[in-house]
Amino acid sequence: MPLEPFERVVARYGPAVLRVCTAVVGPVDAEDAWSETFLAALRAYPRLEPGSNVEAWLVTIARRKAIDVHRARSRAPLPVEELPLPPASGTEDDGRSLREALKTLPDKQRRAIAYHHLAGLPYAEVAVILGNSEAAARRAAADGMKTLRALHQAGDLP
Amino acid sequence: MNEPLGGSWNAGRHPAPHTPLDAGGAAEPAVLERLHARLVNAAAQEHLLDIAYRIVDTPIGPLLLAASEQGLLRVAYAREGHDAVLEKLAARISPRILLAPARLDRAASELEEYFARRRTHFDLPLDFRLAKGFRREVLNHLPDIGYGQKASYAAVAAAAGSPRAVRAVGTACATNPLPVVLPCHRVVRSDGTAGGYVGGPDAKRALLELEAAA
């Protein structure tokens, strides 16, 4: 099957790529990372092997671009070491505090959660991106979720 | 708005799970719309936008307009299947295709003027890449048939330098990649009946009536 029009790729995977970018660098830098990702993908697209896993390909580019964007802003190295203060109140900060909490997880756990729970990739594809096995990807996500749940129960998350 | 591709932002194979981590989804469509516009601009600037397209509403139904950097490449009726037309463009020219209306602003406004009877010929850069050989020769002669005029398939064959290639003229018209703009609707049977048309007989009749009434 030949490559489909790139517009369809953007429509189908744009939301997942945005979630991955947001999970890795936060909502502000995520837009730069998203833009860099799809521009790079558009450039390389005609050379993509037809029948490739487009989603995993995009997520791989997105992860690299998100890290590039983050480095260019020369902020604290990923992942963030300290836990943010819990938000004072309300639901507006929920997403941000969750993202901040995500950043405190070890790299593989954070990525496994981002790709599986936010981007919707099955564990087999998460494993391809992480370079480990399906079982290891599943375990990393589960361990990360356990930490997040513990934080949540301790009242550090809304 | 008519959008042939990716109607839903969440049409992926894997449904987006609603875990507690899936926060902040409400603002997403507006953000994605803004990001799409930004991608289109960057792609055009870096000469990565091989084909831009948009859909315009006309009295003869929605028309897909697609343009390369060289010029207008394709005009397609809904009955041709806009999705299918874009897929063929991806396979034949380039898959670097985005919904990017700006490149087609001039074509859209000229068409609007034409349908409002304020324009009798099109003045647009055209990309003839989708037509080869004799078919292209035929297309080159179509603008010679003036607004409101008609010519027979035989007369067009003669004008294209092959008086006996009447059938080939019919094929060239039926596969015209730029209908309306290259007026194959003005090519009719020798007995005066309209004959076939890529946009269907109703569209052909409507175009001939539009031009006759002017």
CATH number at residue A44: 1.10.1740.10
Q: What is the pLDDT of residue B80?
A: 96
Q: What is the pLDDT of residue B27?
A: 61
Query: For residue B148, is pLDDT > 80?
Result: yes
Number of domains in chain B: 2
∠ CA B1-B6-B10, rounded to 5° = 115
Q: Which H or E run includes B55?
A: strand B51-56
Query: For residue B10, is pLDDT > 70?
Result: no
Do A147 and A100 share a structural domain?
Answer: yes
Task: Give me B205's structure tokens.
Answer: 């009749």
Q: What is the pLDDT of residue B87?
A: 97
**Range with the poorest average pLDDT among A3-7, A49-53, B13-17, B127-131:** B13-17
Phi and psi (nearest 5°) for B126?
Answer: -115, 145
For an interface test with B, the pick among A1, A4, A7 (most B C-beta atoms closer than 10 Å) comes out as A7
Q: What is the pLDDT of residue A129?
A: 73
pLDDT in tens, B149-196: 999 999 999 999 999 999 999 999 999 999 999 999 999 998 878 888
Phi and psi (nearest 5°) for B127?
Answer: -110, 110
Look at residues B86, B115, B144 and tell me which one is the last residue of a structural domain.
Answer: B115
Q: What is the pLDDT of residue A131?
A: 76
Q: What is the pLDDT of residue B94?
A: 97
| CATH number of A92's domain | 1.10.10.10
C-alpha B187/C-alpha B194 separation (Å) is 8
Measured between CA atoms, how close is B77 to chain A, in angstroms? 18
Task: Supply the pTM of this predicted model.
Answer: 0.76
Number of domains in chain A: 2
Q: What is the pLDDT of residue B192?
A: 78
Q: What is the pLDDT of residue B178?
A: 98
Do A72 and A18 share a structural domain?
Answer: yes
C-alpha B57/C-alpha B101 separation (Å) is 13
Query: For residue B19, is pLDDT > 60?
Result: no
Do B44 and B77 share a structural domain?
Answer: yes
Q: What is the pLDDT of residue A75?
A: 52
Q: What is the pLDDT of residue A67?
A: 77
Do A91 and A69 share a structural domain?
Answer: no
Q: What is the pLDDT of residue A56?
A: 83
Q: What is the pLDDT of residue A39?
A: 97
CB-CB under 8 Å, A94 with B21: no
Looking at residue B126, the DSSP 8-state letter turns out to be B
C-alpha B197/C-alpha B86 separation (Å) is 20
Do A72 and A2 share a structural domain?
Answer: yes
In a domain, B60, yes or no: yes
∠ CA A11-B60-B139, rounded to 5° = 90
Which residues span the domain enclosing A99?
A: 85-158
Do A74 and A3 share a structural domain?
Answer: yes
Which residues span the domain enclosing B189?
A: 133-213
C-alpha B204/C-alpha A127 separation (Å) is 56
| CATH number of B104's domain | 3.30.160
Is A117 in the B-facing interface, judged by CB distances under 8 Å? yes
In a domain, B89, yes or no: yes
Q: What is the pLDDT of residue A82?
A: 33
Q: What is the pLDDT of residue A87?
A: 38
C-alpha B28/C-alpha B116 separation (Å) is 39
Exposed e or buried b per residue across B12-34, where buried means at least 16 C-beta atoms within 10 angstroms of its C-beta: beeebeeeebebbeeebeebbee
Please tell me chain B's helix, strand, coil percentages from 3-state DSSP, rounded to the nearest 5.
Answer: 45, 10, 45
Query: For residue B38, is pLDDT > 80?
Result: yes
Phi and psi (nearest 5°) for B200?
Answer: 95, 155
Do B108 and B35 share a structural domain?
Answer: yes
Q: What is the pLDDT of residue B180?
A: 97
Tokens 């697209």 belong to A45
Query: Are B4 and B54 a contacting pair, CB within 8 Å?
Result: no
Do B109 and B36 share a structural domain?
Answer: yes
Q: At a CB cut-off of 8 Å and minimum separation 6, what does A58 contact?
A: A9, A13, A16, A17, A37, A41
Do A56 and A36 share a structural domain?
Answer: yes
In a domain, B16, yes or no: no
CB-CB under 8 Å, B89 with A18: no
In a domain, B15, yes or no: no
In a domain, B14, yes or no: no
Query: For residue B79, is pLDDT > 60?
Result: yes
Q: B-chain residues within 8 Å CB-CB of A16?
A: 12, 16
Instruction: Tell me the mean pLDDT in the region A124-151.
Output: 88
Task: Tell me the C-alpha to C-alpha distance, in Å, between residue B167 and each of A46, B158, B177.
Answer: 37, 12, 18
Do A139 and A102 share a structural domain?
Answer: yes
**Range with the poorest average pLDDT among A110-119, B115-124, B167-176, B200-209:** A110-119
Look at residues B193, B107, B177 and name the one whose alpha carbon lies nearest to residue B138: B177
Q: What is the pLDDT of residue B15?
A: 39
In a domain, B127, yes or no: no
Q: What is the pLDDT of residue A98?
A: 74
Do A45 and A14 share a structural domain?
Answer: yes
**In chain A, which residue's Cα lies nearest the Cα of B52?**
A7
Q: What is the pLDDT of residue A22?
A: 83
Query: For residue B135, is pLDDT > 90?
Result: yes
